[in-house]
Amino acid sequence: MTFRGSLSKKTFSLYFLGLITCAILSSAHGEGDLAYAIWIKITSPLTGQQVPIGELMISGESSDNGTSECQVYVDWNNQKPYQRATPTGPGSSQDFSNWTFTYNSSYHAIQEGINDLTSKLTCLGSPSNPLAMNKWYSINVTGVNSQGSDAVQLPLPIQPSVQDRKTNVNESTSNHIQINMQVDKNPISLGARQSLTVEAIDSSTGLKDSNAKIFVTVTDPSGSVIKQFDTTDGDLTRSFRVDTSGSFKVTAEVQSEIGSHTKSITFEVQ
C-alpha cells in the first residue's frame, strides 16, 4: 500500500508539472502571435517633409478594429507623457484603425528644425496572456517658417552615402543587395540627438536600389525597442534623442527583388 501511495503521489506531481509547463508555453506562444500581429503607421505627413512651424495635424493607421482593446498615443521628440490620439475608424468610437492627433501649444507645437514624431500602439493581451503589447512608428519632419516664403512639403535631401565607420558591425547577406549604414556620433552624449542613415545598394551596379524596403529597429541597453522606422524607396535618414547611457543597437533589414540583407551596428551613450 505504501508503494502504491508513493507512486500515485509521484505520478500526480509529474502530471501537475506538465500542466504548468503547457500553460507557460501556451502563454508565450500567444504573446508572440499578438506581438507579431499588431502594427501602427503614420500616413501623413510623410517622413522627411517640410511642414510649417506651429500647429500640425498628423494622421495614421493601425491594426486596431475597435474591439481589440488597443489605444494609440504620440509624443514629440520623446517628450513624455505620451498624448492620446483621436480614433477616427469606422468601427466604433474606440476604433483606432484610423486616428489623428494635432500638435499645438497644449502639448508641443512643431518647432523650426528637426521634429521627431512617434506614434505608439498599446494593446492588452488575452485573459490567458494579460501582458500589454506595444508597437512604435516614428517619422522626422522639418519645421520651417513659412512667412514670406513659398515653403511646401518637400522631401528632405538624403545625406550622401559613406562607408560605415562604426564598430561592432554584424551582417548577413543574400544575393546582390548590400547596406550602407552609419550613425553620426559614437560615442554620443546623454540627452543628445543621434542621426542615422541607411541605404540599400545593388552590389552589381554600386547604385541605390530605389525599390528596396528598409526596416530599422533601435534597442536600448536593456534590449527594449525604443524606435522603429521604415521606408520603401531604398534610403532612410532619421534622428532621435537618446536618454539612457550604455550601448544602443541599430538593426536594419532590407528586402528587395534582388535579395535581402540584415545589418546591425552599436553606439555608446555616455
Residue 158 lies in a domain: no
CATH number at residue 85: 2.60.40.650
What mean pLDDT comes out for the span 59-82?
90
Residues 130 and 226 in one domain: no
Same domain, 182 and 118: no
Of 14-28, 164-178, 191-205, which gets the smallest average pLDDT?
Answer: 14-28
Check whether residue 62 and residue 138 sit in a common domain: yes
At 97 the pLDDT is 93
Do both 42 and 119 map to the same domain?
Answer: yes
What cell was used for 36?
507579431
Mean predicted confidence (pLDDT) in 20-25: 47
Over 80: is that where the pLDDT of 75 sits? Answer: yes
Provide the pLDDT for residue 66: 76
Asked whether 122 and 141 are in contact (CB, 8 A), the reply is no
pLDDT at position 79 over 70: yes
Please report which confidence band the pLDDT of residue 19 belongs to, taking 50, 70 and 90 as the band edges: low
- Report if residue 196 sits inside a domain: yes
With cut-offs at 50, 70 and 90, classify the pLDDT of residue 52. Answer: very high
CATH number at residue 195: 2.60.40.1930
Over the stretch 103-125, which tens digit does the pLDDT of each residue have?
999 999 999 999 999 999 999 86
pTM: 0.52
What pLDDT is stored for residue 194 in this prediction? 92
CA-nearest of 250, 166, 183, 175 to 209 is: 175
Residue 7 lies in a domain: no
Q: Is the pLDDT at 223 greater than 70, yes or no?
A: yes
Assigned domain for 259 exists: yes
Is residue 8 over pLDDT 50? Answer: yes
Q: By C-alpha distance, which of 74, 108, 77 is closest to 192?
A: 77
- Within a domain: residue 22? no
Q: 13-22, 169-178, 179-188: which range is least confident on average? A: 13-22
- The alpha helices in the chain, defined as continuous H runs, are 2-37
Do 178 and 140 reside in the same domain of the chain? no
Looking at the fold, whether 42 and 138 belong to one and the same domain comes out as yes
Q: State the DSSP code for 176.
A: T
> Could you tell me what percent of the chain has a pLDDT over 90?
41
> Which residue range is the domain that position 69 belongs to?
38-144
Question: Over the chain, what is the mean pLDDT?
Answer: 79
What total of structural domains would you count in the chain? 2
Helix or strand holding residue 21 (H, E) = helix 2-37
- Does residue 18 sit in helix, strand or coil? helix
Residues 97 and 192 in one domain: no
Q: What letter represents residue 113's amino acid?
A: G
* pLDDT reading at 58 higher than 70: yes
DSSP-derived letter for residue 231 is E
| Cα–chain center distance at 215 | 9
What lies within 8 Å, CB to CB, of 153 at 6+ separation is 45, 46, 49, 50, 51
Domain assignment present for residue 198? The answer is yes
pLDDT at 153: 40
Task: Assess contact for 101 and 108: CB atoms under 8 A.
Answer: no
